[in-house]
Amino acid sequence: MILANVFQPLIDVADALITFLHNDVGLTWGWSIVGLTVIVRLAMVPLTIKQIKSMNALRALQPQIKEIQAKYKGDRQKMNQAMMRFYQENKVNPFASCLPLLLQLPVFMALFFLLNGDDFENEVTASGDSRSWLFVNDILEKATGGDLVILMVLFITSQMASTLVMSVTADKTQQRIMLLLPLVFAAFIPNFPAGLIVYWITTNFWTLGQQVVVRKLSPPQAVVVGGKPVPAMAGAVEGDPGPKKAPPPPPRKKKRRRR
């Protein structure tokens, strides 16, 4: 209840938006939750673009970052100092990618309290409209049976895909950990209202599509090393060897002179 009071302003905003999308736009309650997700993500587009550009820059800087880590492998303090200088030279904030994720957490909590609240349930019931959405029987209740299985598959698939796109700058160990997190989150799925899982899945697909679009529209920037710009490497992503050199031409045969 204390947390619900803290998030009450956000709960009221979420309630007003969902009600507007249902009553004025004419969407069902399930599609209104999807619409709320789109509105939230559109509002966060400026921050998300900065996040993705920061991630793209980090991806282009990976060869130089690995060189610094290898050079100062035995001295953590010097490594951190060298890394901070390198980030400042290239005007990259490694923590910029965390901000949109942190901003989504209060929205998730507000929607959790809204869908679990009696007031919203009474509002939905009084409208007389269906509480179903596509294959989900009731967006306000916990999913069970086939509904739960489909939601679990959609959640794990979309979460892993969006996580994989966002973790391109991480090393192999971090990538494995981040890919295992959706399986940990999946354990909590049965305890949430189905509508909250719909919101989460929609967010994952939005994140995936947005990452792909912005990455294509944002070419890699020049890398600065020691104050001097260096062209970004095409093989900056781990596992990408970069452009292959053309094989040398075969040696020319010397013509023998006739005696």
CB 43 within 8 A of CB 143: no
The residue ranges of the chain whose pLDDT is under 70 are 1-4, 52, 56, 94-101, 165-179, 214-215, 217-259
**Percentage above 70 pLDDT, the chain:** 70
What pLDDT, on a 0 to 100 scale, did the predictor assign at position 243?
A: 41
Whole-angstrom distance, CA of residue 200 vs CA of residue 104: 10
Q: What is the pLDDT of residues 103-149, one digit of tens each?
A: 778 888 889 899 988 888 898 889 888 888 888 888 998 888 888 99
| Rg of the chain in Å (alpha carbons) | 25
Whole-angstrom distance, CA of residue 45 vs CA of residue 49: 6
Residue 41, both tokens: 């993500």
Which amino acid, residue 13?
A: V
Q: What angle do CA 124, 125, 127 make, to 5 degrees?
A: 65
pTM here? 0.69
